[in-house]
A and B are shown apart, each in its own frame.
Chain A
Amino acid sequence: MRDEQTPLGAFEEQILVAVLRSRDDAYGMEVRREIERVTGRELAIGAVYATLDRLEAKGLLTSGRAFGNGAGGGPSRRRFALSAKGARALADTRAMRERLWQGVDVRRLLSLARA
């Protein structure tokens, strides 16, 4: 099966990066907090869950629960991890972004922004 991936949306990218940053603790609430911490914007938990689920449906994320580790011995939280496909998509997105930025005069950009 070929990996013909539509480019990631900005929010999808943020979520994937946040999952990556949270390493072993990537459950919904934590992903939300991670993005809030970095971007300084408030985020609704529902939007995070919907996107996490969508990314899993696309095969970019996997999720699962480890039994017996949760509080009180029940199943633990549902944790997310990047799949190989997700990792490739994220890497592609980053590479594409870097290609885009190559040759951009950053000093000029900053001076424009100041004006």
Chain B
Amino acid sequence: MRSRFPRFPHAVLRTLLPRAERDEVLAELEVEYVQRAGAYGRRAAGGWAWRQAMLSAPALMRWSWWRGWSGFEPRANAYRPGGNVFKNWLTDARYATRRLRARPGYTMLAVLTLALGIGGTAAVFGIARPLILDPLPYANADHVAFFWRPGWWNEEEYSYLRDKFPGYQRVAFYRPADVTMRDGNAPTRLLVGISSSWDLFDVLGARPMLGRTFRSGEDVAGAEPVVVVSYGLWRELGGTPGVIGQRITLDGTPRTVVGVMPRGFWFPDPAVRIWQAQAINPQGRNGSYALVGLMKPGLTVPRMGPHVAALVKTISERFKYGENGDKTRDAYVKPLRAELLGKMTPAVVATFTAMALILLIACVNVAALMLGQVEGRSTELSVRAALGATLGRITQQLLIEAVVVGLLAGIVGAGLAFFGFRILAQSLPIGVWADSARFDWTMFAAALAIAMVAALVVASVPLFSLWRHGNLRGALSGGRTSGIQGRGGRLERGLVVAEVALAMLIASGAALLVRSVTNLYAIDPGVRTTGIAVVDVLSSRSWNGDQRIRKLIEAVDALKTTPGVRSVATSMRLPLLGGGNSWSEVVEGRPANEAVFTYFRIVSPEYFETMGMRVKQGRTFDPTDIAAAADTSHHAMNIVVNEELVKKLFPNESPIGRRLVGGFDWPQTIVGVVNTVAEGALTDKPEATVYFLDRVAWFGNGGSFVIRTARPQDAPAVLDDARRTIQRVAPEFAVQSVTTMDRVLDKAVGPARQIMSLLTLLSGLALVLGAIGIYGVISHFAARRKRDWAIRVALGLPGSRVIAHIVRQGVVLALMGIVVGAVAAAALTRLLSTFLYGVSSVDPVAFAGASAALITIGAVAAFVPARRAGTVDPARVLREQ
């Protein structure tokens, strides 16, 4: 009979009907089915059966939820075993909640420990998601590749190669071009921008939200200047469709807005707010461009090899390169994502790994706590087992308790993630991405998901200890009377070893970074960075050199009158920012192949003094140079050079009075030599540098004011005054950023410093968690063997021996953990290798430091319970038992 009732509806009803009645109800339904099949046919009866099941399901599910929750059980059902599953779970959840409430200390410790790990992991996940997981906002993202040496290409090369790129449908080029925007009477603002060939958006496959992107022909000289703005800038301009066609004044020139990019679009990073089509000068040799191309259909980055080779051939036939900047060498293409986000990936991955390790430590800690709880509950569990509880039922109980702890920790963790998120984002070396990172519901969901996984990990340990014995009785026997050696404890010891190993991983990583950062700070940048305030400005591109220098001098004079300021100078580019602005210089009269790579810097007279540089020979710029510069009839160009240039060009002679040729059309006379400064990156090898007086030359439209304060600690304080002064005296300068030289040095030391502070914090956390773990397990051991110790002390063993023995236990566990951790660390610290400077990723000093910290922590954590055991009165302990 039953086989004729449709199977699925039968199963649904069987699952959902109350157990006490389901068999009789199903039997009657089957009878009715047969009747109906006879009367109306099998199809109609089948339909009826399905309707019975489907229409019953919602009512029955509501009913079981409500009945389970209210604890209501019809009296008639009380005689039947079983009951519905839902109700079991709810009973267990209520029971777990009661138990947790009755042990606030244990609950707080478990929830907070887990919440730390969960919150941190969720926050890092939130930051990492847009960088690593989210798709890029370009339709062609998978088919676009960057060319080697971004920031090195020039207009001449691009103009020549434009239609000759093999393997590409189209290649666009762009460079960063920040612009000043004047909007009515508001102070001039700086917009982070890009200036590009017309086809940039077509290459990326990006569509505008309003208007259009650039058109062919808009990147030639004489075309109407057009710009595309970001969604954010569009909102600031009014946020109406009327913005299209509007003219805005950029760098003193009116430009027409032709398009608005949609919200969420960014290229090449989220700070960029304006894209302008650039008039390309086919003879322009000023190279600071990047090339990005859309590959022909069917081609991928790994298959571009032959095309790159063909391109190199074309380049080498047309262009000749010197030693520095040879574009025919190391040619390759790089996928879009790797180029745009690749630099940040190691930092994010390293942090994520550290965070996940913390979470794992927290899990291990809570698992050890729960294991202790389970052993402490052996009487309760034995009673339940005696009353008929099965292993499955107790498993369920433990699981639910872990899940309740997990849920609480998930909620607290989401709160921690919410608050810690911004701090974390700012302390990671991800630049503007930190500002665009946002806390959203996915992070909350992530916290809860992580919490559930953590809860399962946590529960697995006590469950393992239960199941190991195969049955409940075996697991629970022997809880009361332990022998001389005490019971097992291998699992607990294993947990502590695992915990110490994980802590060792994080601590050794942090130690490596500390060593690396110490090395970086030990490099002498050549300037005294303390006590220097920096204001970066940008002037209108339409200015000529005279206008600019007049305003610069006025601004410097005004800044000197600011209280607390000792000296003020300007420079076109500060040291430690990674180079730029270089050419080659050669001694006058010598062949061109003796030229050396040289940075050139245009500075005001007081620059050397303000920056704390030392004069090695001759003099720096003085009034005679200024007077000579005022005389425009002849170009007497006096220069100051650095020691490195002297070492390279005048190894055995005095450079004073000698003349150099390079860059400008007329020769330059050396009047002085100063110490070598890290004009490029901090870790670059020393490079030759020439300094020009700002009255005789100018270059570009950016510049920095450097302000040395009378008291070093005042440097940040004068920044606001300085900004106001510049805006008052020279409103045409857009203040780009204000900072201090100390900050510039910090940034030069780079991402390692930021990751170091984060990892140090995390390793501190790991050590604390590790200490709690060791303390918990050792005190558990000590308490369980209290009786043994009491007997031995009664027989004459000194208390100090007891303490020594227990502490030794703790130290041995820590040592085992350190060995395991060190092996894992040796493999894992390679993740950090991009941040390391002057330190190997298996640096013995760092590892020794981390080990020492962990052994100390292990000994201290074990000492507390050891002392308790060693100083106990044996008579009392023996009476108690």
Contact = CB atoms under 8 A, between A and B. Distances in A.
Contacts of B256: none
Nearest to B16: A46
A46 B55 contact: yes
Contacts of A46: 13, 16-17, 52, 55-60, 63
A28 B52 contact: no
A77 B56 contact: no
B51 A49 contact: no
Given A49-B17, A78-B20, A57 B60 contact: no
Contact of A49 (B32, B63, B66, B72): B63
Interface string B54-85: 11111110110011001010111101000000
B39 to A, nearest CB: 14
B59 A63 contact: no
Nearest to B79: A75
A42 interface: yes
B45 to A, nearest CB: 12
A78 to B, nearest CB: 5
B59 to A, nearest CB: 4
A17 B77 CA distance: 24
Contacts of A53: 18, 63, 67, 72, 74
Nearest to A61: B74
B880 interface: no
B70 A57 contact: yes
25 contacts: A28-B21, A29-B28, A42-B48, A44-B54, A45-B13, A45-B25, A46-B13, A46-B17, A46-B57, A46-B59, A46-B63, A47-B55, A47-B56, A47-B59, A49-B56, A53-B72, A53-B74, A57-B72, A63-B76, A65-B76, A65-B79, A75-B79, A77-B24, A78-B21, A78-B74
B449 interface: no
Nearest to A77: B24
B636 interface: no
A44 B76 contact: no
A64 B75 CA distance: 7
A104 B18 CA distance: 45
A106 to B, nearest CB: 34
Nearest to A56: B74
Given A28-B25, A75-B79, A78-B20, A44 B63 contact: no
A73 B197 CA distance: 93
Q: Size class of B's contact patch?
A: 20 to 34
A78 B48 CA distance: 24
Interface in A26-66: 28-29, 42, 44-47, 49-51, 53-54, 56-57, 63-65
B29 A50 contact: no
B74 A44 contact: no
Interface string B7-28: 0000001001110110011001
A52 B60 CA distance: 11
A50 B63 contact: yes
Contacts of A54: 63, 66
A25 to B, nearest CB: 13
B66 to A, nearest CB: 8
B76 A78 contact: yes
A53 B70 CA distance: 12
A47 B57 CA distance: 8
Nearest to A29: B28
Contacts of B55: 44, 46-47
Which interface residue of A29, A56, A63 has the most chain B CB atoms within 10 A? A29
A78 B17 CA distance: 14
A44 B75 contact: no
B21 A45 contact: no
Contacts of B67: 53, 57
Contacts of B48: 42
A50 B74 contact: no
A73 B24 CA distance: 14
A97 to B, nearest CB: 25
A44 B51 contact: yes
Contacts of B77: 78
